Amino acid sequence: MDPLSNVLLLLKPRNYLSAGLEAGGSWAIQFPDQQRGIKCGAVVSGQCWLSVEGVPDSIHLTAGDSFLLPSGKPFRLASDMAVAPVEGARIFSAPCKPGITTFNGGGDFFLVSSRFSLEGNPADMLLQLLPPIVHIRDESGQAALRWPVERMMNELRDPQPGGFLIVQHLAQMMLVQALRLHLATGPKAGVGWLFALADKQMSVAINALHDDPAHRWTLQELATRVGMSRSSFALKFKETVGTSPMDYLAHWRMQLAADRLKNSTDPVSTIAPSLGYESETAFSMAFKKIMGCSPRQYGRV
């Protein structure tokens, strides 16, 4: 399994709201703090401005554009940023249900969006590496997202039996596709495992570590696999990922361990060898060093 899929499975992103927004005339809506999660949206028709709290510049969205908001900060959508905003709670029913909300008569603008909560422990592995606004506007990106966006629009407009599950899967597809597009077309100067996946050599190394985290990897073995010298590989990995290969492996092992401690009945005696540790003691020491508590304490939290 590839690293992005690995991390998303641990994060367990749950789509708890997918909806459509149709607006008309001059309008502006202020949305509250999204807390720990990701907002994903796509403009089907019309145009609007997107502003996120703490980000100095607003972004202009037009038909076909998509966006991710990973920071969870309050944000505003508006036809004109000079228009006084209406609080989202006044427009959208509570509790919100899948469907289409019409504001100010509708007719000029249509947006489909989904909101995801993140349950897994390593949320920072993903969220800290993404900018507060991921804007996807290139033609290839728009084409890749067109099918799930159009299908979701149809499901929201004309609910059918089983529609809830279809919308859930379409939302997941939009999220993963948007992250994939950001990985392919986003800034190349970032440091972290997500950016490293765009580098052919480093992606081979990270995939190897994720494919077999229990293996007793060495720098030389990883360097050979990517076709580099040991010293060149170690330097490039540190510069690209932000940590050494062995530190990255240790942290990834602990994320896997933490997930099993929370979501399975596997004892430490089973988890430790499955992640490459010869003894429970060695595993527990590594876990406490990285996670800040013992495995048994973590499992009871």
pLDDT in tens, 244-296: 999 999 999 999 999 899 888 999 999 999 999 999 999 999 999 998 999 98
What span, in angstroms and rounded, lies between the C-alpha atoms of 233 and 245?
A: 9
* pLDDT for the residue 49: 97
Task: Give me the long-range contacts of 274-278 (CB less than 8 A, separation at least 24).
Answer: 274/214, 275/213, 275/214, 276/213, 276/214, 276/215, 276/216
* pLDDT for the residue 216: 94
CB 41 within 8 A of CB 64: no
* pLDDT for the residue 177: 86
* pLDDT for the residue 296: 87
pLDDT tens track for 10-35: 777 877 778 899 999 999 999 987 76
pLDDT higher at 194 or 185: 194
* pLDDT for the residue 121: 61
What span, in angstroms and rounded, lies between the C-alpha atoms of 21 and 2?
A: 34
State the fold for domain 3-185: Jelly Rolls (2.60.120)
* Residue 122: pLDDT band with limits 50, 70, 90: low
The percent of residues in the chain predicted with pLDDT above 90, rounded, is 50
CATH number of 194-300: 1.10.10.60
The values of phi and psi at residue 213, to 5°, are: -65, -20
* pLDDT for the residue 95: 41
* pLDDT for the residue 204: 95
On the question of pLDDT at 197 being above 80, the answer is yes
Is the overall model pTM greater than 0.85, yes or no? no
pLDDT higher at 120 or 34: 34
* pLDDT for the residue 170: 87
Cis-peptide into 95, omega within 30 deg? yes
On the question of pLDDT at 96 being above 60, the answer is no
> CB atoms < 10 A from the CB of 170, how many?
24
Domain spans, the chain: 3-185, 194-300
* Residue 99: pLDDT band with limits 50, 70, 90: confident
Give the residues across from 100 on adjacent strands. Answer: 20
The percent of residues in the chain predicted with pLDDT above 70, rounded, is 92
**What angle, rounded to 10 degrees, do the helices at 230-241 and 219-226 form?**
90
